Amino acid sequence: MAYEVTLITGDGTGPELAEAARKCVDATGVEINWDVQEAGVDVMERVGTPIPDSTIESVRRTKCALKAPITTPVGTGFRSINVYLRQELGLFACIRPCKWYPGVRSYFSELGVDIVIVRENTEDLYAGVEFEKGKPETAQLIEFINGLPSDRKIKTGAEETGVSIKPISVSGTERIVRCAFDYAQKNGRKKVTAVHKANIMKYSDGLYLATATEVAKDYPDIEFEERIVDNMCMQLVQKPELYDVIVLPNLYGDILSDLGAGIVGGLGVAPGANIGPEGAVFEATHGSAPKYKGQNKVNPTALILSGMLMLQHMGETDAAKRLEQAVADVIAEGKDVTYDLKPNRDDPTAVGTQEMADAICAKLKG
């Protein structure tokens, strides 16, 4: 049986990483027909959009995509393609394992950290309900809010104030928390921790916490606890070994997944999966690193492990295990790894992106 998968090559170092991940997935022996599609700044320069209709149509057809990193402009330019894909395709759950592999430099290596962060993808401040300073609609919104019978006022004027809305719903919270508990049950995990700021944001995060607490009652075999987000950050750098599956609203999930990646050695080893009822997109947590474009230098581990998550999602569990083990073996040996995985980053024996991928393929082929 051959699987149909969309391969989005991205921009910056994305095409190099896509090539590396593709050959490692192929080396498992799972037969995949790759539909190669583009997205990002390179294609925008040619066709006027960072994500052509053909790319979206491909993912809708295959219901599965492996996506290389794509640049997101800061403050200006086009909106995040990652966010767009998640919302357009209904990919409500972002699953980001934060697992330490022997050979990766980390201050926490002796703890054997193995945490999974489950992030809600479609609500919260990332929903994109924003109002720009100086716009008439922003003035109308501020006037409406300030006219309500409440002591909660926006005390600065529309000419200098931007506003973002933070929607949190019962249905959105229920499905992401159930996703976290279902993941825990399926993967032999023992505990789910819900993260929030309900002590301050009582009507959004408070709703999230109350809903999560109710959902937890349906999973008596899994321990449930809650943590305030700032305390959770401290807990993760003090005693990360105490945590298992962590479920969070969108913004906190984005931030803490990078913190989790830092604990286990950095974004270079941090994979991700975005899953919804109609499909899934698998991607590295890190960005496109355009300054390294074309240099065959960056670490391909995160996107290769994202391919491993894709194989798991397909039900190809044996192939997924073999791919993860091959990655772990190459990293542990420390020979055929990129510069960031060497004890000394200036080590002249560091290999390139494709050479590390080739070493992983060699392990798979035995």
What's the CATH code of the domain at 88? 3.40.718.10
In whole angstroms, give the CA distance from residue 284 to residue 265: 14
Q: Which domain holds residue 300?
A: 1-92+272-366
Question: Among residues 230, 239, 318, 365, which one is catalytic?
Answer: 230
Q: 10 Å Cβ neighbour count for 159?
A: 10
Establish if 125 belongs to a structural domain. no
197 noted as active-site residue: yes
Q: What is the C-alpha separation between 133 and 332, in angstroms, rounded?
A: 51
Please tell me what DSSP assigns to residue 126: G
**Residues 6+ positions from 352 with CB-CB distance below 8 Å:** 296, 297, 338
Divide the 366 residues of the chain into consecutive groups of 10 and give the mean pLDDT of each group.
94 96 98 95 83 93 96 57 84 96 93 96 91 97 94 94 97 98 96 98 97 98 98 97 97 96 94 95 91 95 98 97 98 96 90 98 94
What backbone phi and psi angles, to 5 degrees, belong to 46? Answer: -90, -40
The length of the chain, given as a count of residues: 366
**Would you call 188 exposed, middle or buried from its count of C-beta atoms within 10 A (0-12, 13-18, 19+)?**
exposed
Q: Are 162 and 125 in contact (CB under 8 A)?
A: no
Residue 75 maps to a domain:
yes
Pair of tokens at residue 305: 């492990």
Which residue(s) pair with 114 in the sheet? 99
What does the block give as tokens for 103? 């050979």
Active site residue 339: no
**148 and 72 in a common domain:** no
Residue 33 in domain: yes
Residue 8, helix vs strand vs coil: strand
Residue 353 identity (one-letter amino acid): T
- Catalytic one of 35, 101, 124, 126: 126
Q: CB-based contacts of 365: which residues, under 8 Å, 6+ apart? A: 27
Q: Output the pLDDT for position 75.
A: 45
Among 164, 189, 218, give the residue marking a domain's end. 164
Paired with 97 in beta bridges are 116
- Same domain for 65 and 152? no
Q: Are residues 82 and 153 in the same domain?
A: no
CA distance 264 to 271: 12
Into how many domains does the chain fold? 2
Question: Each residue of 277-307: b (16+ CB within 10 Å) or e?
Answer: eebbbbbbbbbbbbeebeebbbbbbbbbbbb
Active site residue 254: yes
172 in a structural domain? no
Residue 189 covered by a domain: no
pLDDT the model gives residue 110 = 87
Which of 144, 164, 184 represents a domain boundary (last residue)?
164
Residue 43 in any domain: the answer is: yes
User: In 10 A of CB 14, how many CB atoms?
Assistant: 29
Separation of alpha carbons 202 and 152, rounded Å: 13
Does residue 293 sit within a domain? yes
Does 207 fall in a domain? no
Q: Specify the pLDDT at position 124.
A: 96
Beta bridge partners of 131: 163
Q: Which of 164, 190, 223 is the last residue of a domain?
A: 164
pTM, full prediction: 0.92
Active site residue 358: no
Task: Label residue 50 exposed, middle or buried (CB < 10 Å: 0-12, 13-18, 19+).
Answer: buried
Q: Catalytic: which of 42, 99, 101, 197?
A: 197
Burial class of residue 144, CB neighbours in 10 A (0-12, 13-18, 19+): exposed
User: Are 62 and 137 part of one and the same domain?
Assistant: no
Would strands 114-120 and 93-99 be described as parallel, antiparallel, or unpaired?
Answer: antiparallel
